Amino acid sequence: MDHAADAHRTDLMTITRYVLNEQSKHPESRGDFTILLSHIVLGCKFVCTAVNKAGLAKLIGLAGETNVQGEEQKKLDVLSNEVFIKALVSSGRTCILVSEEDEEATFVEPALRGKYCVVFDPLDGSSNIDCGVSIGTIFGIYAIKDGVDPKIEDVLQPGKNMVAAGYCMYGSSCTLVLSTGKGVNGFTLDPSLGEFILTHPDIKIPKKGKIYSVNEGNAKNWDGPTAKYVEKCKYPQDGLPAKSLRYIGSMVADVHRTLLYGGIFLYPADKKSPNGKLRVLYEVFPMSYLMEQAGGQAFTGKQRALDLLPTKIHERSPIFLGSYDDVEEIKALYAAEGQK
Ligand code: AFP
């Protein structure tokens, strides 16, 4: 009998155990973050179950509303938003919540208030629900000072001030990827245990990748540097092989692949959308945070993405993120354009 393998199988590092271990390194910690995270994990498990059952439960389909971005809301979006709002408020550890689905930020009532602000997209990629493509929840967390009244400026902060960020992907498996500012770890839900188990410790993105990921349907409206970069991916001049194109159209799935396999994901500005499509607070920032923590980079076309100072909670920004060397190339193209 292989006792070593057996021990490996039976000594499971659950996400709660992992976070408690981290907490024990900070004796002054009161466990507030651990409690908040356990409520986020509960939300993810709930949404995972709902996504898996959606076809059977007839949850797929329009709920007859449009959200603040003018997009059609699906029933699963509505449900996921409710689940996360309730899970976060009931944690007693949050003070401001910003959701992609809600026009205004939610200020938690004083009796239930804690120090954390959570920005999130409860179900990103929802136009993919009907065809069973992977979708996910994206979240970022800021902290306010103890005893201070929360105000909207507490969430209108650069992404570099986040204390944690992550996503949960509802795909062939349910995977939660998390960073608390000390690297990136991936946990996979074991449905029989109902627990997220550490399966991808200390994720590092390859320094250079072989994949580029972009909606090429927008190519006619791209600016010079983006067009040049994609041309270089297809027809490299330096004798290197061309890169492969992979694009799912679901940010969590495209970023997850980029994180594990390397390469670059881009949602650039174009003539029709000068600020791109993706939302700063709950798409660009959390994914940029994870990329940097994994050794990659995230760039807006003008600056480091995590240095952006948002002025509105639903603000958008162009984004180029992924392997260090690949993002370096696009930065060089924008720098050259700026010198013209
Ligand atoms: P939906 O939530 O409407 O499906 O949008 C998904 C998304 O915000 C993000 O997950 C994708 O990366 C991006 O939009 C895809 O946008 P395009 O369809 O314009 O390529």
H/E stretch holding 315 reads none
In testing the pocket of ligand 1, which one of 127, 252, 270, 275 has its CB within 8 Å of the most ligand atoms? 127
- pLDDT: which is higher, 75 or 171: 171
Cα dihedral 82, 41, 296, 256, rounded to 10, equals -80
pLDDT band, residue 105 (cuts 50/70/90)? very high
List pLDDT tens digits, range 244-285. Answer: 999 999 999 999 999 999 999 999 999 999 999 999 999 999
In this prediction, residues 191-199 reach a mean pLDDT of 95
Angle of helix 15-24 relative to helix 32-57, nearest 10 degrees, comes to 170
How far does CA 162 lie from the centroid of its chain? 13
Q: Which atom of ligand 1 is nearest to 71's Cα? A: 3
In this prediction, residues 299-309 reach a mean pLDDT of 98
List pLDDT tens digits, range 13-63. Answer: 999 999 899 888 888 888 999 999 999 999 999 999 999 887 777 666 666
Flag whether pLDDT at 8 surpasses 90: no
Flag whether pLDDT at 74 surpasses 80: no
Neighbours of 88 (CB within 10 A): 26
Residues 121/170, Cβ–Cβ less than 8 Å: no
To the nearest whole number, what is the mean pLDDT of the chain? 92
Residues 226/220, Cβ–Cβ less than 8 Å: no
DSSP-derived secondary structure for 194-232: TEEEEEETT----SS-SEEE--GGGGGGB-HHHHHHHHH
Instruction: Name the closest-CA residue to atom 2, ligand 1.
Output: 125
pTM of the entire structure?
0.93
Q: Which residues of 119-142 are buried (b: 16+ CB within 10 A; e: fewer)?
A: bbbbbbbbebbeeeebbbbbbbbb
In testing the pocket of ligand 1, which one of 123, 250, 257, 316 has its CB within 8 Å of the most ligand atoms? 250
In testing the pocket of ligand 1, which one of 124, 212, 220, 275 has its CB within 8 Å of the most ligand atoms? 124
Flag whether pLDDT at 100 surpasses 90: yes
Kindly state if the Cβ of 250 falls inside 6 Å of ligand 1: yes
pLDDT given at position 1: 42
In this prediction, residues 87-94 reach a mean pLDDT of 98
CA of 338 relative to ligand 1 center, distance in Å? 29
Kindly state if the Cβ of 127 falls inside 6 Å of ligand 1: yes
The H-assigned helical ranges of the chain are: 3-10, 15-24, 32-57, 75-90, 224-234, 251-261, 285-293, 324-338
Asked whether the CA dihedral 313, 41, 79, 170 is positive or negative, the reply is: positive
Q: By percentage, how much of the chain surpasses pLDDT 90?
A: 79
- pLDDT: which is higher, 67 or 104: 104
pLDDT band, residue 7 (cuts 50/70/90)? very low
Kindly state if the Cβ of 126 falls inside 6 Å of ligand 1: yes
Worst-scoring range by mean pLDDT, 48-52, 117-121, 257-261, 301-305? 48-52
Kindly state if the Cβ of 268 falls inside 6 Å of ligand 1: no
Instruction: Name the closest-CA residue to atom 1, ligand 1.
Output: 125
